[in-house]
């Protein structure tokens, strides 16, 4: 398993060791001991899965502290552009975003710590996304940022006319008006 740091403190890209032969492939998508030995000490308590069609954007979602969540995300089938926006005040990357293509083919995973808004766009015909969370869902703490906020300058890699979003996601405020209560800790 290869674990890479990113320019965003706390976000990690994980590439599992994949074993292939004439039958197909095998890999460990999660191994608590290997993660702990690499310094990843989160305790994941819940798995969530979604399936979405081409053009769908889900996000940008987060939960306020003390209900925020760390997520470990991967794509089982299909292809997405995964996006994390840093909401941690005093972070060197506050207001910046990281984008990475995840797919059932590349098998990359992304670890997004608490203090980030998260979303993804489906780039293939469909995508099945699986993610682990280290804290339960609390609807009263859920917030979001509008996916097309011009201040964030996120290129979702989709033609505007083909984007599909929920009413709830389309009604989220922009970054400047979003409620957030995260602080960067070194």
Nearest Cα to Cα of residue 99 among 178, 176, 30, 157: 157
Given 42, 61, 97, 147, the catalytic residue: 61
* Residue 131 bears catalytic tag: yes
With respect to residue 142, please indicate whether it lies within any of the assigned structural domains.
yes
Give the three-class secondary structure for 156. Answer: coil
Given 42, 131, 135, 147, the catalytic residue: 131
Burial class for 150, CB neighbours closer than 10 Å (0-12, 13-18, 19+): exposed
CATH code assigned at 124? 2.60.120.10
Print the domain residue range for 77. Answer: 2-15+44-183
Q: What is the reported pLDDT for 185?
A: 84
Q: What single DSSP character describes residue 147?
A: T
Q: What single DSSP character describes residue 176?
A: G
* Residue 54 bears catalytic tag: no
Mean per-residue pLDDT pooled into runs of 10, the chain (186 residues):
95 95 92 92 96 98 98 98 98 98 97 98 98 97 98 97 97 98 89
With respect to residue 35, please indicate whether it lies within any of the assigned structural domains.
no
pTM: 0.95
With respect to residue 156, please indicate whether it lies within any of the assigned structural domains.
yes
With respect to residue 32, please indicate whether it lies within any of the assigned structural domains.
no
Residue 60 pairs in a beta bridge with none
CA distance 170 to 173: 9
Q: 90 — phi, psi (to 5°)?
A: 75, 5
pLDDT in tens, 129-166: 999 999 999 999 999 999 999 999 999 999 999 999 99
């Amino acid at each position: 398993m290869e674990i890479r740091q990113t320019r965003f403190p706390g976000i990690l890209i994980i590439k599992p060791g994949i074993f292939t032969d004439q039958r197909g492939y095998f890999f460990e998508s999660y191994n608590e001991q290997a993660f702990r030995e690499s310094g990843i000490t989160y305790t994941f308590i819940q798995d969530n899965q979604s399936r979405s069609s081409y053009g769908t954007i889900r996000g940008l979602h987060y939960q306020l502290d003390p209900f925020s969540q760390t997520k470990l995300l991967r794509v089982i089938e299909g292809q997405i552009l995964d996006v994390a926006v840093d909401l941690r005040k005093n972070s060197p990357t506050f207001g910046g975003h990281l984008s990475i293509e995840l797919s059932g083919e590349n098998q990359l995973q992304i670890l997004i710590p608490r203090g980030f808004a998260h979303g993804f766009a489906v780039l293939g015909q469909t995508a099945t996304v699986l993610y682990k969370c280290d804290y339960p869902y609390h609807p009263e703490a859920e917030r979001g940022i509008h996916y097309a906020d011009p201040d964030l300058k996120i290129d979702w890699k989709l033609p505007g006319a083909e984007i599909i979003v929920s009413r709830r996601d389309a009604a989220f405020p922009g970054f400047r008006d979003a409620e957030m209560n995260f602080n960067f800790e070194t």
